[in-house]
Amino acid sequence: MRAGHAYPVGGHGAWQGHVIVCGLPGVGLRIVEQLALSGVPAVVVDDHPPPPLAQLIARWRVPLVAGPTRAEETLTSAGLAGAIAVLCVQDDDLAALESALLVRRLRADVRVVAQLTNPAVGRAIKEAGVAVLDVAGLSAPSVVEACLRAGVQEMTLSGERFLAARTTAPRDATLRTLYGALAPVAVVPPVGDVQVCPGRDTRVRAGDEVTLIGTPAELAAASVIDDPERVRVSRRSPGVFGLAGQARWVRQLRDLALSLARAADRRLAIALGALLTVLVITTLVLRFTYRYAGPGHRITLIDAMYFTVETVTTVGYGDFSFKSEPDWLIVYAILLMMTGALFVAVFFALVTNMLVSRRIEESLGVRKITGLRGHVLVIGLGTVGLRVVRQLRDAGRDVVVVEMNEHNRHLGQLRVLGVPVIVADATLPEVLASAQLAVASAVAVLTSDDLANLETGLAVRDQLGDRWGSTPVVLRIFDPRLAHSVRETFGFHDVRSTAALAAPWFVGAALGLDVLSTFYAGDELLLVARLTVTPGGGLHGLAMHELAARTRVLALRRAADRSVLEHPPRRSDRFEPADEAYLIGPYDELLTVLRRDRPSPGVADDPAGSTSR
């Protein structure tokens, strides 16, 4: 807990200005951690709190109420009467829904934020004044961006389109020299710590990764991106969609042909070869020996081929017959009808067997993915995995999914989307080989188990071999400290914590900070948020350059003139009441700015640095 802030005095049932968090596991723990680090009082309510997590938040001096989150007495004992917000982040949608509706019934004036994965229920509950957020939807864009390595993330500030773009410094120079008035938000050197929101006069070295934010036109003018329209991945115009659709159909037909060719076994090849041999020999025999109108009258090659097929398939239209032919040709015809019918029956039986087997394997998710090149391999089909698959498909990318649980409830949705699924253990080399890992463009490991993700990531690294450094491998790790260790120890560059990505949105919604976007610069999580300046608050009259060093004002819409968006504002400009400020920085720094503007009624400055309750 940070020194310099004191918790409210007395039992938490009588607290004022705190946040109630319903549900501790998952994103709930990250929310509590961020509230604690920011000095915001919090009370946790959980039906069955896991003992290790209960001990952890006890070390953070966060009180825990063990009881049903859907009971009025439990919420009352957690201090609902004085809370400024309630976050319902249980893993179960039904529990979160019931808790949110109960809180709204008990207090109509408190902020209520619920985690719901069901979009239909989410839209309905918004009408009751409940803010709805989805962890999968909030974290998936960062995973997709890492897989595609587009280096560009889109955001909207007050209705205007902005991009956060990564580029590499071409030479040693200051940021102002290289990129002019563009807003630098991070510099990631090859070795060393990330510089967050550096000044434009900061010197960078050739090869440093620089993240800048600006409009598409500004970024294109500074040669950071090639074309302002190129980054509209998920907003396909009709022409682009048509071309992409045609290319996909051609690719699917090609892949189907290759898949059938590779699925054909040796028996089918032998049967087809024998049948073709009989057809060719018989066609030649009939062409030169069959006399249908007396001596000297030979049938044409087409007629001979037709008669051969007619005989082999035992159709017998009556236009040709062996009635008046020599005895040896009649005996040949008898043998032809018997062997030909046998070869045809065997051939079609093998073809039917191949197609039925292929369909069964496809429905079970165990067939090999043949013909794919440059696809994205997604391992783990939870809510995050499903959302990532959908966004990758929207971006026009082929996707292959590996999922261990054959009863996963999302499998049906993927089959409707036409996404191939392999139900198997992704740590096995043969499974990764069947998923065409050797020619995949990226891998996203997204199960809900940190150890399973690490084990799978290491197996992927071993199988990639020489392609390890050039193929993006996104690893989902819940614990930020473990994520940092995995990044440093095993060399995984793209480690993502979905809980860490989503938690700032919940905290911001609870405290009045409107989070607009989250993304990583190196291993530093950055937020873009909107803040309305409070009249008489701590930001009223403050100059832009007086904010914390690790935060930056990207744009400002003045209350006096809502038609103009100042971008970027001058460092000497001052905040005025009701101004809309668009800020970027680490979440703890933005929460500090928010608390400076709107001091919580339950937290008072403590010069002695006390943390007593």
User: What is the tens place of the pLDDT at every residue in 275-298?
Assistant: 888 889 988 988 888 876 556 667
Alpha carbon distance 147, 444 (integer Å): 7
* Pairing, β 64-66 against β 5-6: unpaired
For residues 440 and 383, membership in a common domain is answered with yes
Q: What angle do CA 34, 195, 567 make, to 5 degrees?
A: 85
Q: What's residue 611's pLDDT? A: 33
Q: What's residue 599's pLDDT? A: 63
Alpha carbon distance 351, 392 (integer Å): 34
Q: What's residue 365's pLDDT? A: 45
The CATH number of residue 321's host domain is 1.10.287.70
Q: How confident is the model at residue 610 (pLDDT cuts 50, 70, 90)?
A: very low
**Cα dihedral 272→273→274→279 (10° resolution):** 90
| Res 248 pLDDT > 80 | no
Task: Calculate what percentage of the chain has a pLDDT beyond 90.
Answer: 35
For residues 387 and 453, membership in a common domain is answered with yes
Q: How confident is the model at residue 462 (pLDDT cuts 50, 70, 90)?
A: very high
For residues 387 and 348, membership in a common domain is answered with no
Residue owning tokens 């309510």: 45
Q: What's residue 603's pLDDT? A: 41
Q: What's residue 484's pLDDT? A: 83
Across the range 383-411, mean pLDDT stands at 91
The CATH number of residue 387's host domain is 3.40.50.720
Residue 259 lies in a domain: no
Q: Are 506 and 132 in contact (CB under 8 A)?
A: no
pLDDT in tens, 419-460: 889 999 999 999 999 898 999 999 999 998 999 999 999 999
Of 420, 439, 471, which residue is a domain's last? 471
Residue 321 lies in a domain: yes
Q: Any bridge partners for residue 529, and if so which?
A: 515, 583
Alpha carbon distance 466, 528 (integer Å): 37
Mean per-residue pLDDT of the chain: 83
For residues 311 and 389, membership in a common domain is answered with no
For residues 466 and 384, membership in a common domain is answered with yes
Q: What's residue 601's pLDDT? A: 47
Residue 540: both structure tokens together: 């009223």
Q: What's residue 608's pLDDT? A: 32
Residue 144 lies in a domain: no
Of 471, 492, 515, which residue is a domain's last? 471
For residues 380 and 466, membership in a common domain is answered with yes
Q: What's residue 461's pLDDT? A: 94
| Res 234 pLDDT > 60 | no
Q: What's residue 597's pLDDT? A: 85
For residues 388 and 341, membership in a common domain is answered with no
Alpha carbon distance 300, 27 (integer Å): 79
For residues 336 and 284, membership in a common domain is answered with yes
Q: What's residue 343's pLDDT? A: 83
Residue 578 lies in a domain: no
Residue 597 lies in a domain: no
Region of poorest pLDDT, from 271-280, 354-363, 394-403, 534-543 = 354-363
Q: What's residue 235's pLDDT? A: 35
| Res 607 pLDDT > 50 | no
DSSP 252: H
Residue 456 lies in a domain: yes
Of 302, 336, 362, which residue is a domain's last? 362
Across the range 100-111, mean pLDDT stands at 94
Q: What's residue 72's pLDDT? A: 93
Domains of the chain: total: 3
Residue 69, CA atoms < 13 Å, CB-side half-sphere: 30
The CATH number of residue 182's host domain is 3.30.70.1450
For residues 465 and 425, membership in a common domain is answered with yes
Residue 501 lies in a domain: no
pLDDT in tens, 324-345: 788 888 888 888 888 888 888 8
For residues 398 and 345, membership in a common domain is answered with no
For residues 383 and 465, membership in a common domain is answered with yes
Alpha-carbon radius of gyration of the chain: 33
| Res 9 pLDDT > 60 | no
Q: What's residue 358's pLDDT? A: 65
Q: Which domain does 285 fall in, by range?
A: 270-362
Q: What's residue 574's pLDDT? A: 92
Q: What's residue 278's pLDDT? A: 87
Higher pLDDT, 388 or 258: 388
For residues 402 and 348, membership in a common domain is answered with no
Residue 335 lies in a domain: yes
DSSP characters over 171-196? SSEEHHHHHTT-EEEEEE-SSSPPEE
